[in-house]
């Protein structure tokens, strides 16, 4: 980690090299460690240290962006020069999105020294325990244990200067039998590595793997499903991308366009984005340095708001809600700290409420088929079970669904009171999700 002082000094150095009308400097430091295991042993084990400077400069009506991880004094100057050359090489844009003025973001304590300093030996010990528990059941465990520490500075020529640092620890495992015909998945994520319970993760996955042996095939068709939190997090991700962002609305491909305050979802569904929530992975400002606001997306089934960045906010004559990804971009703002509000049912009550249905641990390879209704296809994976007469019964072969995630939130019959935290490393999105019961979930195929 470089520390706030050094990063702010680097930002000042960058500003000293530009005569742009407006300039924005983003500095990101990452120290990431990951131990990966398969067949009950560690097989990949890595560490990465990187620090990146990204600058956006606006000269008149021309914008240029340059990024480099050479943060030596010469490197910083070269990056500023590249950004200027890029800006000046293009025609004037009629209406370039300005670099925003904003207030200081709330300070959030999301940095846990124990996570930042976690050693490979400690990760190996936890993994050893997971593999030992799996091996004792004649099963094999695969998975990864990651501990990250990061710092972010966003500063701009309007005097905005935001700093945040944090940590993330994530342990997940897929435990399977030797033939690969039965498997179970479990995960735990927290800013604090000390609260991750490796044994609990292992036992959940092992239990699912043991119960998954000799699955029966169910015919495709509509079923009531219990989506466990990992599957619900996946559903939330696609709704963030395709429905609850201002660009999707402006481009007329979002289901909620023009439907504010209409009750289009189940009254059991409340969805919001909150970068400041202490039970998430806090992220107090966005990639333009704008403080994140809590945005209510669905409230007891009613459509509420969508998230904005500066570019989309200007079109609608509103303020940014602090949901920019690095700008300029073509994908628009993103709700990346998503919460599905808990209900009042225990997990057992959810199961007891289903006459005949399917319990789904997680989804796999979900892809958009059509955007408006967030029509999705994908498969179930690592723990799929039949529910009969309010009880989990036999394991079932994985199924392919082709179903609308909008409809899934219309048909959400019940919501569990316990929630779980997830962090998607690829997109940087975080989710806190409960298990939910959904009626009329449509399956179109069965795997072999």
Partner 1 sequence: MKDLAARILNMAQMRGATYADVRVTTRTLQTITVKNGRVQELSQNESQGFGVRVIADGAWGFAASSRDDYADVDAAVNRALEIARAGALSKTRDVRLGAPEANKGSYRSEFKLDPFMISMSDKINLLLKADDSMRRVKKNGAHLVTTSELVFVREDKLFASTEGAAIQQESIESGCEIQALATNEAGDVQTRTYPWGRHQQTRGFEFILAQQLVENAPRIAQEAIMLLGADPCPPSDNATVILSGNQVALQVHESCGHPIELDRVLKQEASFAGTSFLTLDKLNNLQYGSEIVNITADATIPGGLGTFGYDDEGVPAQRAEIIKDGRFVGYMTNRELAAELNLGRSNGSMRAENWNRIPLIRMTNVNLLPGAWKLDDLIADTDDGIYFDTNRSWSIDDKRLNFQFGTELAWEIKGGKKTRLLKNPIYTGVTPNFWRSCDAVCDESHWVVWGTPRCGKGQPPQTVRTGHGASPARFRNVKVFSRS
**Smallest separation, CB 22 to partner 1 (Å):** 16
Pick the binder of partner 1 from 271, 354, 379, 437 (CB under 8 A).
Answer: 379
Residues 1-30 that bind partner 1 (CB under 8 A): none
Determine if 46 is a binding residue for partner 1 (CB under 8 A).
yes
Q: Show the binding pattern over residues 301-320: x = contacts partner 1 (CB under 8 A), - = does not.
A: --------------------
Among 4, 13, 82, 393, which residue interacts with partner 1 (rule: CB under 8 A)? 82
101 binds partner 1 (CB under 8 A): no
Quick note: the x/- pattern for partner 1 over 173-212, rule CB under 8 A, is xx-x---x--x-----------------------------
**Shortest CA distance to 187 belongs to which of 233, 226, 149, 148?**
233
Binding to partner 1 by CB under 8 A, coded x per residue (else -) over 236-275, reads ---------------xxx----------------------
Q: Is the CB of residue 116 less than 8 Å from the CB of residue 2?
A: no
CB of 417 to partner 1, least distance (A): 29
Binding mask 132-151 for partner 1 (x = CB under 8 A): --------x-xxx-x-----
Binding residues for partner 1, rule CB under 8 A, total: 89
Q: CB under 8 Å to 180, separation ≥6 — which residues?
A: none
Q: Does 100 bind partner 1 (CB under 8 A)?
A: no
Q: How far is the CB of 340 from partner 1 (least distance, A)?
A: 23
Q: Which of 400, 410, 413, 417 is close enough to bind partner 1 by CB under 8 A?
A: 400
With CB under 8 A as the contact rule, the residue among 381, 408, 430, 434 that binds partner 1 is 381
Nearer CB in complex with partner 1: 226/249: 249
Interface mask toward partner 1 for 315-354; x: CB under 8 A: -------------xxx------------------------
The answer to whether 425 contacts partner 1 (rule: CB under 8 A) is: yes
Closest C-alpha to 358, from 349, 367, 350, 366: 350
CB of 341 to partner 1, least distance (A): 28
Among residue numbers 50 through 79, which ones bind partner 1 (CB under 8 A)?
A: 50-52, 63-71, 79
Our CB check for partner 1 shows the closer of 187 and 409 to be 187
* Closer Cβ to partner 1, 98 or 342, answer by number: 98
> Interface with partner 1 by CB under 8 A: which range of 5-13, 195-203, 298-306, 373-381?
373-381
- Give the nearer residue to partner 1 in terms of CB position, either 69 or 355: 69
> Which region, judged by CB under 8 A, interacts with partner 1, from 115-123, 155-163, 196-204, 232-240?
115-123
């Amino acid at each position: 980690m470089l520390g706030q002082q050094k990063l702010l000094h680097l930002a000042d150095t960058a500003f000293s090299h530009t005569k742009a009308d407006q300039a924005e400097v983003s500095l990101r430091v990452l120290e990431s460690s990951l131990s990966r295991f398969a067949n009950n042993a560690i097989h990949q084990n890595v560490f990465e240290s990187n620090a990146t400077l990204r600058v956006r400069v606006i000269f008149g009506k021309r914008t240029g962006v340059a990024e480099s991880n050479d943060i030596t004094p010469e490197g910083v100057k070269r990056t500023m020069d590249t950004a200027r050359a890029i800006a000046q090489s293009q025609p004037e844009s009629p209406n370039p999105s300005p670099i925003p003025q904003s207030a200081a973001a709330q300070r959030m304590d999301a940095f846990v020294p124990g996570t930042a300093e976690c050693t490979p030996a400690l990760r190996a010990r936890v993994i050893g325990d997971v593999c030992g528990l799996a091996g004792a059941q004649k099963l094999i465990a695969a998975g990864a244990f990651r501990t990250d520490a990061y710092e972010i500075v966003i500063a701009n020529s309007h005097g905005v200067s935001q700093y945040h640092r944090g940590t993330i620890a994530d342990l997940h495992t897929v435990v399977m039998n030797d033939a690969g015909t039965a498997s179970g998945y479990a995960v735990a994520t927290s800013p604090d590595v000390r609260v991750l319970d490796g044994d609990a993760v292992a036992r959940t996955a092992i239990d699912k793997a043991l119960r998954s042996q000799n699955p029966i095939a169910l015919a495709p068709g509509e079923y009531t499903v219990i989506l466990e939190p990992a599957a619900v997090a996946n559903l939330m991700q696609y709704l963030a991308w395709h429905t609850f962002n201002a660009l999707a609305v402006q481009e007329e491909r979002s289901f909620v366009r023009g439907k504010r305050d209409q009750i289009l979802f189940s009254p059991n569904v409340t969805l919001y984005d909150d970068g400041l929530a202490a039970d998430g992975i806090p992220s107090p400002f966005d990639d333009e340095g704008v403080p994140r606001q809590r945005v209510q997306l669905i409230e007891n089934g009613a459509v509420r708001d969508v998230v904005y960045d500066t570019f989309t906010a200007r079109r609608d004559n509103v303020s940014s809600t602090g949901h920019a990804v690095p700008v300029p971009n073509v994908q628009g703002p993103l709700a990346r700290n998503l919460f599905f509000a808990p209900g009042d049912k225990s997990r057992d009550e959810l199961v007891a409420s289903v006459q005949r249905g399917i319990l789904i641990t997680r989804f796999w390879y979900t892809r958009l088929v059509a955007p408006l209704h967030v029509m999705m296809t994908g498969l179930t994976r690592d723990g799929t079970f039949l529910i009969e007469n309010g009880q989990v019964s036999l394991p079932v072969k994985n199924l392919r669904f082709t179903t609308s995630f909008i409809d899934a939130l219309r048909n959400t019959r019940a919501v569990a009171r316990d929630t779980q935290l997830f962090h998607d490393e690829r997109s940087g999105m975080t989710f806190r999700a409960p298990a939910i019961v959904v009626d009329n979930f449509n399956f179109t195929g069965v795997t072999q």
